[in-house]
Chain A
Amino acid sequence: MGAECYYEVSQIAYIKLVLHALKHRSAAVNGLLLGRLRQDGGATATVEIADTVPLSHSQIGLLPALELALIQIEEHFEAQGLSVVGYYHANERHDDVELGNAAKKIGDHIFRYFPRAALDNKKLERMQPSKSRDPVVQLYTRDSSKSWRQTGSDGSNQLTLKEPAANVVLLDYISSEKWQEIVDFDDHLDDISKDWLNPGLFN
């Protein structure tokens, strides 16, 4: 992508994905990023990541479940003008921050539909009780050589949190063990009465 592209994560999206990772501490987790592209005028554009749908916490490589989820999720969010803009993934071992093959494959799949797709890889180490504005995720985008590269390594800050106080709110939810309530698509398949939209999570 020649032009600069920024990625902005909303508080809801950010918190949901961190809570998802915390709920399943010993497994790899993944999910989809929903959002829209906003032309800021000139050559810059921002991908607003407005929401996330947690997908699974066990067998990450399962493409069939992904297909199912993609179809239903896209249909649902179309009405709100949102589409799938990316994917997030947290590895099983917290010191493993490599972007795994499964994640890359899924990223490629999404890329076909949305060229500015973002891949979030979480490096959730010990959450410091800091009130920093930086998100605890790593952003990857796909460059013209079809490989996923980490952004921000050259010092630029392409990924920002939309609401600066998001980390504070997140810490609050963590201490109240809010992560128990998160439902992902996997949970839904085990019990369809559980809703992967997580309505009422933030009430």
Chain B
Amino acid sequence: MTRLDPPQQALSSFVSSFTLFSPAEERFAGDRVRMVRAEEAARLDRLESQVENGGGGASEYLCLVGKLKARRSDKVLKHGLSILNDPKARSKLGGEEWTLYEQVAFAAMDCQQHDVAKDCIAILSKEFPGSTRVGRLEGLLLEAKGAWAEAEKAYERLLEDNPLDQLIHKRKVAIAKAQGDLSSAVNLLNKYLEIFMADHDAWRELAEIYMSLQMYKQAAFCYEELILSQPTVPPYHLAYAEASGLVLYTIGGLENLQTAKKYYASTITLTGGKNTRALYGVCLCSIAINQLTKGRNKEEKDGSNLQSLAAEALQRDYKERAPKKLPLVISMLKNMKLNS
């Protein structure tokens, strides 16, 4: 049991580009989507325990894993292989057989079972000679083995015939990231986004990398792009608010705080007041703004009721769902002078 090593890290990047679920996507799943996912996730869990206990339903389970892009590689590997190794079960799949080989190949790579992956890819390669999709799998296997230079070469070759293949471009970014070369990753992503500017996945990934490099202004810019194209997705507002707040710590500027507060507020509106981080965010911004505007003209001070409303909402929420923590929160708000 270990932390992920670089090849596994690489697989985590843009893994949603293939059939697996990316962490960046998870973080930004809107609440409604998350709810739907929760129901389907529950169904997935039920199916999983059914299959695990010998109750059948393996192909349905594998299908759902693929649809939800859930990362359950050890189970997929186990049950996928049992179907593929059984000629009768395999023939029942018909055309789906090949997608299953692909799915099992990914799972095998994620579980470090490179030989199994190699076998699946060989079978697919025989069935679909010269296929780009299979070529990508081969590249991915090289990545999984940590053979970065070879993987890059393989992708370059594929790009010659398919210069606009988004998935391959993104794999190059994943390789850079896994090797810790974040500035290359940033460059590659920026070039990619010049061509594919509607790729939200890529904007999110770029924002996250900027945040980890503490380049908050650049991260904020990415979130602006996302808000422009999808204005009602709360996580983007929240992320933009957080990034703006951080711009303040590095570059300073009252307007960054005000931007942050504005977007925490819009997050609250979009989520019906249910987002804890946004409520806290409003409170923190208000104190900081008040501190910065001490002694300034009244007009420049922030006079809205927003902070006391947020404080009230927080207290109500804690009273209902986490009463043990309520005294701590009340005391904190009092210290922050938001509790009258």
Which residues of A come within 8 Å of B, CB atoms? 21-22, 25-28, 58-65, 67-68, 71-72, 75-76, 90, 92-96, 101-102, 124-127, 174-175, 189-190, 192-193, 195
Contact = CB atoms under 8 A, between A and B. Distances in A.
Contacts, number: 94
A93 B3 CA distance: 8
A26 B9 contact: yes
B5 A95 contact: yes
Interface of B: 1-6, 8-9, 12, 23, 27, 178, 180, 208, 211-212, 214, 216, 242, 245-246, 249, 276-277, 280-281, 284, 317-318, 321-322, 324-325, 328-329, 331-332, 335
Nearest to A29: B3
A196 B211 CA distance: 24
Given A27-B23, A94-B6, 19 more contacts: A21-B3, A22-B1, A26-B3, A26-B8, A26-B23, A28-B212, A58-B27, A61-B211, A61-B216, A65-B277, A71-B335, A72-B325, A76-B328, A92-B9, A92-B212, A125-B2, A189-B280, A193-B322, A195-B322
Nearest to B322: A192
Contact of A195 (B180, B277, B325): B325
28 contacts: A25-B2, A25-B3, A25-B8, A26-B12, A27-B23, A28-B212, A59-B212, A60-B212, A61-B211, A61-B214, A63-B249, A64-B245, A64-B280, A67-B284, A71-B332, A75-B331, A76-B328, A92-B9, A94-B2, A94-B3, A95-B5, A127-B2, A189-B280, A190-B276, A192-B322, A192-B325, A193-B322, A195-B322
B9 A195 contact: no
Given A102-B214, A192-B276, A192-B318, A61 B3 contact: no
Contacts of A175: 1
Quick one: which of A61, A64, A65, A175 has the most chain B CB within 10 A? Answer: A64
Contact of A192 (B178, B211, B317): B317
A93 B317 contact: no
Nearest to B250: A61
B246 A62 contact: yes
A43 B180 CA distance: 43
Contact of B321 (A71, A126, A193): A193
Contacts of B335: 71
B281 A64 contact: yes
Q: Which 7 A-B pairs have the closest CB atoms?
A: A94-B3, A192-B322, A72-B328, A193-B321, A26-B12, A25-B4, A26-B4
B3 A90 contact: yes
B4 A68 contact: no
A93 B6 CA distance: 6
Contacts of A59: 208, 211-212, 242
